[in-house]
Structure 1
Amino acid sequence: MPKYEALLEAVKKAKYHVDRARYRLRDLALVSILIYTGCRIGEVLELRLEDINFKK
């Protein structure tokens, strides 16, 4: 399991590439969800806005 700092650095690197239009913001959001929740790719791809409680 990677350390938190390594994961944070990976997200920062991905944001750098988003800012330079190499990746889309959607890609950064997907990577962030995968890293910070531990969800599998299939679980994240099935998520809908109704599934997320933004109030918590």
Structure 2
Amino acid sequence: MAFAQDYPTTSWSDLADVSWYENTQEEFTISTAEQLAGVSLLVEEGNTFEDKPLLLTQILI
């Protein structure tokens, strides 16, 4: 028998934090799941982060 699962009503993209992003920076440091979601959102919008290090610190999901 299959059981219905409860899924969040909020999409990850609704929680995305891009406040840390400034396109003139040469390196980025993110430390939250919301900021990581922001990276995904920015890439989806066409940002490649090519030749720009992205440092991940203390991300606990």
TM-score (ref. length: structure 2): 0.30
Larger radius of gyration: 2
TM-score calculated relative to the size of structure 1:
0.32
Question: Counting strand residues as a fraction of each chain, which structure ranks higher?
Answer: 2
Structure with the greater relative contact order (CA < 8 A, sep ≥ 6): 1 or 2? 2
